[in-house]
Structure formats: C-alpha cells, structure tokens
Structure 1
Amino acid sequence: MKSYKKIAILLTALGTLSVSSCKKLLEQSPKANITPQFFTTSGGVLGGITGVYSDLRNLWGTEGFLYYCQFGVDENIVAGGSSTGGNAFATYNNYVRNYTDVYNALYGLFSIAYQDINTLNGVLQYGPTAFTDVPTRTAYLAQAKFLRAFYYYHLVETFGAVPLHTTFITEPTLSDSRAPIADVYALIIKDLTEASTELQSRPGETIASTGAVSPFSGHAATKATALYLLSKVYLTRGWSSAAQPNDFQNALTTAQSLINNRANYGFPNGNIGLYANYADAYNPANDANNTEDLFAVEHSTDPKYGDYSASPSSGKVNGWAWFFRPNYPTVNASYPSSANGSPVMTRDLTNGRPFFRCRPNFEYVDNIAFADKTNDFRYWNTFQTTWIANNTGVTTPRGTLTVGTDTAIWMPPYDPGATKRAAFKGVIFMRPSLATAAQGTNANPFTTSFFPSIKKFDDPNRPNVNDASQRPNVLFRFSEVYLIAAEAAFKMGDNATAAAMINVLRTRAAARPAGAPAAPSNAVTNMQITPAQVTIDFILDERSRELYGESLRWWDLVRTQSLVRRVKLYNTEAANNVQDFEVLRPIPQTEIDLVTIGPKFPQNPGF
C-alpha cells in the first residue's frame, strides 16, 4: 500500500481508497473520494483497516521516526552518518529550525495519524451496517477502536493537547482547535476497554458464528494488545496533568491481569509468555510465533502488499537493522594510521548495512545501565562487540587475519590489558574513558563511526546486503508488561510488588544462550533486588537493559518526568541545550498555518 505526500487541510485528510489497491491519495479538491457509503460494505471496512495498518510502516522503523523516539535521551548519542535534522534532535540545538528532517519526522506522525483516524472514524460510524453477523461486526470494528486509541495515545504523549475528532469528516474545514487532554485520554480508555473484550484472542482465529477465519492474522491486534496499551495509558495518564485517582491501580491491575491470564492469548502455535532466554525473544527464527510479541508492524519481500523494494534508503522500510550499525567496512588494517588502506572487513549480510545514525551513549550504557555484565547477560545479548574477518589478504601490524577465524574488530566493554591488546591481531575500540586511561598499543576510542552495534534487530535472511530488514518491528513486548506493572506499583508506594515484577525479568536475564560461557552459580540470586532498591531511576535503567533501542526511550523519559534531568545527568551532547518545554514536540508549522478561520491554532509553549 503506497502512501503519497499529503496536501490537505489541517486534520481533515480524506483518503482515496480502492479495495483492489488500498492506496491513499489526498486531493486539493474540497470533496472527498471516500464517501460514507464506502464503509457500509465489508470490503470497505477491511480496506480501511488494512490501509491504516500499512501506514504504520511510514512511521516505526523509518529514519525520521528514529530521531524523535531515540535521539536526545540518556541512552543514545548521534552517530557520524546522521543528517542535520538527526543531529538537531540528538542535541536539542536549534532543532525546530533545522527544518527538513525535523519537519518530515513530526509532520509524518501528525498527518498520518489524523488521516488514519478519519478513516477509522468512517469505519466505526458507518461500518456497523456492513455486517449482519454480530460477532463478525464486533471483531472488525474492534480493530478500528484499537487503532484509533493507538494513534491518539501517541499524539497526546508527543504533542500534549491535540484536536479530538470522532466522526468521519466529509467536508474540508479551515478551522480546528485542541481538546482538553482529559477528553483525549477518556476516548482512548473507552476504545481500549471495549477493544480488550471485543478483539480476537489470537491472530486469525475462527469467528465462531460463521466458521470464517478472521482476516486479521499475523501481528494484528488482539485482546492482549489492547490490555497492554490500556495498562500503559492508565500509567501515562497517572503521571499527567489529567491524572485520575485510580490510574496507577488500574495500570497495575490491567497489567497483572494480562500476566496472570497469558495462557488465553498468543499466536496459534504458542501462548504468550517469557522465553527462558532473553536472546530467544529476538531470534529471527521465532518471528512468526514469538510468544513475547504483542503487536508489531509487519514487513515482507512482497513488493505489492509488503511495500518491498531492493536496497532502499527511505520510504516504508524497517531500518532497525541499519541505524545502529557502525561503519565497520572503513576500519583499515593500520588503524588509526592510514598507512595501510586495506579494510579489515567488507560489507556483508551477516554484519549488515552500516547506516550509523545512532550510537550508544557508552558512559551511561556501560557504566550505569549495563554495569553488571557478569550476572546479567543482556548486554551481550543486545550488542555486537566482535566482527569476524571476512576480507582476504589483510595484514595488520600485529599479524595476518585468517578469514572466518580471526576477530578483525573487537569492542570490549573493558580494557583487556596491555598484553592482550598488543597481541590481538585485529583492531580494538574501547569506551573513550577506558582508551584514554589505557594509553597503549591498540587502544582506540569509540568514534562517531566505530562503536558497538545493536544486534537484536539483525536480519541475516534479507535478500540483498543493502536491503532493509523484513522482520517485524515489534512495538509491544510482553516483557514490558512487567515493567509497566512495576512502575505503577512504585507510584502507589508498593515497592514489594514493584520489585517482584522486576525480579521476574532479572531472573530471566541471568540465563545464557547456547554456546555462551556458563553463568556464575549464584547469578540468579545476585540479580534479585529488594523493595528498598526500587526507584524511578532504577526502573528506567531496567527499561534500558530490557528494551534498549526499541523506539520507546523518549516517551519513557517524558512520561516519568525524567527527560531533562537525565539528559543533563548523562548526555553531554545535549545537556547544555535541553530545556523544560522540550518534553513536548512542536506542532508542525505547516499544520498550524492551515488554520485560517477562527482562533489561531496554538503552538506548544517555547517553540
């Protein structure tokens, strides 16, 4: 489903949907090509929902979306390949005026969300007449309720007060206004509460009344998806100015209900549950029926329905396997000298395409979040620290590299010592503070181009070296439900429950994948925390360990009112620039300019 640039009046984007192609094209004409009658057919309802699912590929997994989910936080700093806009997001240095990339990122979420919300409003308003069978009608419309809530949740947590539209717009308008945050949350919770009972329990399940198989298979929303998001919405609202007295209790109750009833949900070939080993949650072999996957944006090599194109650099692509990659093919045999220009590595499928947009903030990642690398194996499951030689005939000052055997690049999170550094035939990179302290042979500091890479999102099965990943972008993971419950319990003053929830994940984190060094005999015991250790900072550090790089961090810091404090504490690139008002993103100016009748549409404070 191809999405075209939208030229539309603020928030009233009307798509042109055909059942055969599901294409959306916004017209400058003041009349809509989608009429209410379109949604009175089962094909129109299915086409509308399918088109919305396709549009998610315009957001999660793309470079622009990476910028405002992952940049300007405590975990990450900018890499050498980032654009002007990426650098602006990462450093908060004049970032609303580095227009092109920032505009594209923010405009993408704002405009796509409201275009799709209008489609979903049409489905919900006119779709009931498309079905005579009540269970079928319920199953279809529940998808629209979930997706509308999903979009409004991300809008309100990104931009604050936003317009609230619940009916299908057929006539363009030049006026609009923001709704109170409380009203937006009320709609989100209503939609998710209903969806959590009306959605399918498992993707593609049979609708009992008709015997028909639901068309919403694969990674489409289920009851568990809605329960996850409902618990997180309660949690987020509880921190906000619209908080209600029972929000944290509702967040905890909903999360625990999902945990306790997990056997009722899942893919057809497996119930929801934690893998015994953290690494298995990210194993490509488990993508089709991942027991920890509650919701994902699907990709495939199908050019028509999967939006696949060979070796793309933009568009509806999953770049998670690219963006965190260092520029490993440019490390030469005599590094840091340029005397020998032979690269120790060449680009290949296994090691991926080095887009190098984002790199770990290793003074935080190494020293704080992943400080325990002995009992907790999540650091080693998250980051690639060795590159095995794949380029023939390469000789460094310390010896000739044997392809397939020798390590060409090594990035240990510690100083291996002078003797090992001098004997190691490949090239070593270390955290800058360690490299400075070592001051010896083969002790190179990380740079904006050379740094450990996230390996959780690797896709060794993509067709070509420069192809984007065809793996799903997993947005909701079951492991996060424990962290939502822990945060809610902490906010209620119930640190015993918070610690118990966190310890489930920490127990699992001590496990080792096959072939890894054995864990210490007391690793599980050492991983347990006490209620006294639970703080919001500990929870945020635990979220880093469990969910590093998963397009959640900016929202996590904003929700917990920790963004400015933790950026100033840990991120030297952004510490001097970040300001209190930047806990919201600016409304795209183009959207503001489209309101020409009635009160001027307000920008967020500070911008």
Structure 2
Amino acid sequence: MKSYKKIAIIFTALGAIAATGCKKILDQEPKSNITPNVLASQGGVVGGLAGVYSDLRNLWGTEGFMYYTNLGVDETLAGGGASSSGSNFATYKNYTNNISEVYNPLYGVFAIAYQDINTLNGVLEFGPAAFADERIRTAYLAQAKFLRAFYYYHLVQTFGDVPLHTTFINTATRSDSRAPIADVYAQIIKDLTEASTELQTKPGENASPFGGHAATKASALYLLSKTYLSRGWSKAAQTDDFSNSLATAQKLINERATYGKGLYQNYADAYNPANDATNMESLFAIERSTDPKYGDFVPGNSGGKANGWAYFFRPNYPTVTANYPTNSGASVMTRDIPNGRPFFRVRPNYDYVNNVAFSDKTNDFRYWNTFQTTWIANTANVTTPRGALTVGVDTAIWMPPYDPGVTKRAAFKGVVFLPPSVAATASGVNANASTNTFFPAVKKFDDPNRPAVNDPSSRPAVLFRFSEVYLIAAEAAFKMGDLNTAAEMINVLRTRAAYRPNNMPANAVANMQVTPGQITIDFILDERTRELYGESLRWWDLARTQSLIRRVKQYNAEAGPNIQEHMILRPIPQTQIQLVTQGPPFPQNPGF
C-alpha cells in the first residue's frame, strides 16, 4: 500500500534462495532503499527475490498467522494457551477490535504483502536489464511473477477489493484506493499463466539458479487452477472459470512425472521428515533451516519468524499428574523432543473432527496418521492408582477417539482422556474428558530433529500439496455438474487413505470408494479436513465456498453465536485506513 511503504530490502537475509537455492554467491552492500539502479543489477534482483522469500517466514508458521488461518472455523477451537488475539479469532468475540491492533496478523499480512509486491514490481520493471542471458533472465522474472500472484491471491481471498499495484513505487504518497476483485484476479491469472510456462520444471534443473523449495511450473499450475476455482465462486466469476480450473488441475495431474510429483502410497510419507528435501507431494514450501543467518533460526524462539507448526497443536502433556483429575502426584510425562514443546494454542473441535470428518476410523487411516493419541512413559518412578509406569514400555497418556470400555480403562495404568461427549456417558474410573489443555496432538508437523526441546522447527513449511490438486479438481468438477469426475478425483485420495503398512482391513479400499451421488460441497469440505487438517487453509476454504457462516454455526459452538454474515471477509487493518490522508478515504469492509 503506497501510503506507508518504506521501500526497503534486507540484502543480508538471502533466506530461501541464497542459502539453499541460488547457485551464485553474491557480495552485497546492504542498502536502506531500493532504487531502479539497484534493481537493474543482478545483485538487486537476487536480493529482492531472496528478501521476499525470507519475508514469507513472517507469515506461514508463525503464531499470529496460525490464528488467522486455523481458528474461527469448523475443525478447530482455541487451545488453553491461545493468546487473547487468538481467542478473538477463534470465537469472533471482540473481533471488530482486532482491526486496530498494530501487531494483529491482519496488519502483518497487509504490511508484508505490499512491501514485497513493490519489491517484485521493481524486479519485473528494472530486472530485465540485469541479465544478458535470456534463459537466466526469464527464470528470475518468472519467480517474481509467481510471488506477486501468490500475494495478490491471498489478499483478494482475505479482504476482497484491495489496492492493485503493478509498477514500482519509490516516492511515498498518502493516497490509495481499492481495485475491484475482477481486476485483481485478472492480474493474478496473467502472472500465473506466464509463470507456468517460464518457471523451472524442477528445482535447479538445467542449471537454473533456483533450487531447494523455490517455485516451479507445478507451483504456478496449482495456484492458477485454484485461482480459477476461487474466481468462479466470486462476484467476478467468468463462465469458463470452473472448466479452466479443472483443465489446469488435470494437466498437472497428467504431467506429474514431468514435474517429478505424485502421491506416496502411504499418506504418512508425505509428512515424514526424512522426505523433506525431495518430497514429491510438495509443490511449494517455505525453506527453513537451523542456520541463524540464512534460516532466521533463533534457538528457543517462539516469536518473530519462528516456525511453530511443530508445537502449536500439542497439548500440555507434562502437566498430567499421576492422580489426575486431582493435581496430586508426579507428572506422568516430561517434556522432550519426540513429544514436542507443549504450546496448546489450537485443539481439535471434537464435535466436527471426531463425529463428522473422521467418523470412519476403520477404513480411513488418516485420523491415525494425523493425530497423536498415545504418549509413552518417559519419566522414572511414576506410579498411578492403577500401577507403576515403566519408562519406554507403558503408555502414560491415552486419548482414544472412542470409549475403550470400563474394563480397559480400569486396567490401564496411565491416564485416559475421552472426547467430551463420550466422557459424559462413560462410567467407571479413568473416564476423563479432554479439555482445552489436554487433547490429541497433530503429529504431521513434528520435527524430531530440533536441536533442543524448545527450539522452533527447521522443517520446510509446505503450502501447496499435490494431494490438494485432486481436491481442487473435484470441487471444480462439482461446480460444473460433472459428479463422475468429482468422485473419480476424490477416490484417488480415498484409495490412498485406506493404506497402512500393517493390518490393513481386507475391504478397506472398496469401503472407501464414493459414488457420484455422494458428492456435495459439504462432502468435499469434509474430505479436505481429512486430507489437509491444520494446514493453514481452512478459513480460506470455507470463505471461498461460501460455507463459512453456515458451517461455523453448525459445528463450532464457541464461534457460532458470534459470527455474522459480513465476516466472510476479514476487516481491513485500521492502521492502513488511517494512513490514507489524501484523496478519497480508504474504505473499510462492510460491517466492521
């Protein structure tokens, strides 16, 4: 946004590209302002792109952004450790007040996005003069097109009409205006259409200067397909949006071998840390490392650019006592690296997760691949009323999504937590109800290689997954009335979801297949939860499909009473509105 941007770049933070992707080592002179001369140099272009990649770490993986994308929806509730801002996002209570909080995630999205968009505009405007080699020049500019489209896509999905700037600004002004979403979508599609043919096919291929997790043709095709899908749902819809979305998704699926992408046989392998470097289901990710300079890594950090995905979804397991529900007795578990840092910021919404989305836990193995439900004893000399716990052998905490029965609960030496609705009708001992502090943990983002228990994760934060391409295709086909194709796309994922290395039910795959008649938008949204739970997509999924208000009221007892129709968009941060002091006032979204 022109009114507040300090046109700056941090050349020393070469982040994702310089540390792991860019093959040329450049000596940079740190500068406080970007000028056309800087951006017309190779160092300026590389520094500009690297700075934008580094800035993505301010969003995905951070606590504030996690609240903004994962709370106030159907599948999650705020954990007991959530901040007041997080609770506001989770319940929409005092939600209007969030627009004036300087450190609110909404402010960060605006501030970071438009700072980086301006840098990318400068790269695209002046960068062509920096490279004599056409192939190298095209590769760099294609990265800028993709990243500009990436930011504008998330801005228009979040706020609706937003400022649209495609030229470099090096003189601050105090005026700005919001462009119609039709214009923003048109620019996104233009950038992605070009990027989908100009980006590298695979990272580092054919001497490309970009390795690691930088954008590729597959990244652009994914986002192009999703952009057509999103515009098709919007007031700017074009008649061919859904068919274009489906065709683009199918192109990516059919040509997956060309891009080195595909589905693992085992859903769990898509999240295995051992596969991070070459994960064939990752289409775009934010690079992380334990390097304090290029990876922005700070030991023990939980703020700033720290990637907290490994601990935001974890319960406060070290405070479960041997004599729970009383506070007496020793803790049955000690905080350690395998079980993670217990931040308990987000918890599953049992009414939806347990009873609706993951209602089939026999044929569909994704519940068990998503959630940790057992904690093996790691603390010596702990005895509960039911017996002594042997370290490394006995289960100290068990959180089954069902009632195992009074006999098993009474014989279980550790502490049992049941879903609240199940605990309400369970009899006998060890029938404790899960709380906003004690709940099953999301294990997909675990980082067992952290140097210390309180360190943030250095795993790449995957934003685009190949499995989601099938869900995008299914949604587009559904909107076209092509239920056969929609079912076909979903059944690819459901076939894979039945797989497990051991003890796979004989009829699991057959039982997982769905028919065209079963396909509804709610079924697709439930399938998205099963496939992508907790992956910072849910608020946008519900808003895009015009399902946010309805499903929050239906499933989220904490947020349902407070959510209102105008909350289908996020409020423009008040700081941004106040900075426009010349020309027409900058308008707030209706209702805020």
Output the TM-score relative to the length of structure 2.
Answer: 0.96
Q: Could you say if the C-alpha distance between residues 413 and 190 of structure 1 is closer, same or farther in structure 2, counting changes exceeding 3 Å?
A: same
Correspondence for 1:239: 233
Deviations 1:119-165 (A, max 9, x none): 00000000011111111111110000000000000000001000000
* Residue 320, structure 1, aligned to residue 320, structure 2: no
For residues 192 and 90 of structure 1, the distance between their equivalents in structure 2, rounded to whole angstroms, comes to 33
Q: Which runs of 5+ in 1 are unaligned?
A: 1-7, 24-30, 207-212, 266-270
**Structure 1 segments of 4+ aligned residues over 4 angstroms from their partners:** 20-23, 98-103
Instruction: State how far apart, in whole Å, the 2-side matches of 1:255 and 1:60 are.
Output: 24
| 1:432-581 pair list within 5 angstroms | 432-513=420-501, 516=502, 518-581=503-566
Whichever residue aligns with residue 34 of structure 1, its letter is I
Secondary structure at the counterpart of residue 425 of structure 2: helix
Would you say the 8 A contact 2:14–2:294 is kept in 1? no
Contact 2:2 2:176 in 1 (8 A): no
Secondary structure of 2:454's aligned partner: coil
Residue 253 of structure 1 corresponds to: 247
User: Structure 2 CA distance, aligned partners of 1:347 and 1:32?
Assistant: 43
Q: Deviations over 1:46-77 (max 9, x none)?
A: 11001000000000000000111000000000
In structure 1, what is the Cα distance between the partners aligned to 2:67 and 2:14? 28
Residue ranges of structure 2 left out of the alignment (5+ in a row):
16-30
Aligned mates of 1:226, 1:234 — CA distance in 2: 12
Q: How far apart in 2 are the matches of 1:21 and 1:481?
A: 32
Identity %: 72
1:331 matched to 2:331:
no
Quick one: distance in 1 between partners of 2:33 and 2:82?
39
Q: Which residue of 1 aligns with 2:140?
A: 140
What displacement does 1:406 show? Answer: 0.1
Which whole-Å CA distance do the structure 1 matches of 2:384 and 2:209 have between them? 57
For 1:593, what is the secondary structure of its paired residue? helix
Q: Residue by residue, what CA displacement relative to the aligned partner does 1:411-466 show, whole Å, maximum 9, x if unpaired? A: 00110001000000000001011001003200000101000000000000010000
1:182 and 2:191 are equivalent in the alignment: no
Shift of 1:32: 7.6
Deviation per CA, 1:254-282, whole angstroms, max 9, x where unpaired? 000000001111xxxxx200000100000
Asked if the contact 1:387/1:408 (under 8 Å) is kept, the reply is yes
Whichever residue aligns with residue 56 of structure 1, its letter is: L
1:519 Cα offset (Å): 1.4
Q: CA deviation at 1:95?
A: 1.6
C-alpha separation in 1, matches of 2:100 and 2:307: 21
Deviations 1:34-57 (A, max 9, x none): 110111111111110010000000
Does the 8 A contact of 1:13 with 1:118 survive in 2?
Answer: no
TM-score for the superposition, normalised by structure 1? 0.94
Alignment-derived partner of residue 39 in structure 1: 39
Separation (CA, whole Å) in 1 of partners of 2:262 and 2:214: 18
Matched with 2:567 is 582
Alpha-carbon contact 1:13-1:114 (below 8 Å) kept: no
Give the Cα–Cα distance (whole angstroms) in 2 for the partners of residues 296 and 202 of structure 1.
Answer: 14
Aligned partner letter, 1:14: I
Distance 2:327 2:303 in 1: 32
Q: Deviations over 1:266-323 (max 9, x none)?
A: xxxxx20000010000000000000100000111000000001100020111110110
User: CA offsets per residue over residues 190-233 of structure 1, 9 Å max, x none?
Assistant: 00000000000001122xxxxxx323111000000000000000
**Residue 84 of structure 2 corresponds to residue 94 of structure 1:** no
1:308-348 Cα distance to aligned partner (Å, 9 max, x none)? 110002011111011000000000000001232x0000000
Corresponding residue number in structure 2 for 1:28: none
1:385 aligns with 2:370: no
Q: Does the 8 A contact of 1:41 with 1:130 survive in 2? A: yes
Task: Number of aligned residue pairs: give it.
Answer: 577
CA drift at 1:10: 2.8
Q: Is the 8 A contact 2:333 2:377 kept in 1?
A: yes
Question: Is 1:288 aligned to 2:269, yes or no?
Answer: no
Alignment of 1:388-427 (within 5 A): 388-427=376-415
3-state SS of the aligned residue for 1:294? strand
Which residue pairs with 1:222 in the alignment? 216
Residue type at the aligned position of 1:15? A
SS of equivalent to 2:296 = coil
Q: Secondary structure at the match of 1:238?
A: helix
Question: What is the letter of the counterpart of residue 313 of structure 2?
Answer: F
Cα distance in 2, alignment partners of residues 81 and 289 from structure 1: 34
CA 1:32–1:388: 2 relative to 1, 3 Å: closer
**In structure 2, distance between residues paired with 1:167 and 1:12:** 14
AA partner of residue 177 (structure 1) = S
The secondary structure found in structure 2 opposite 1:476 is strand
SS in 1 for 2:392: coil
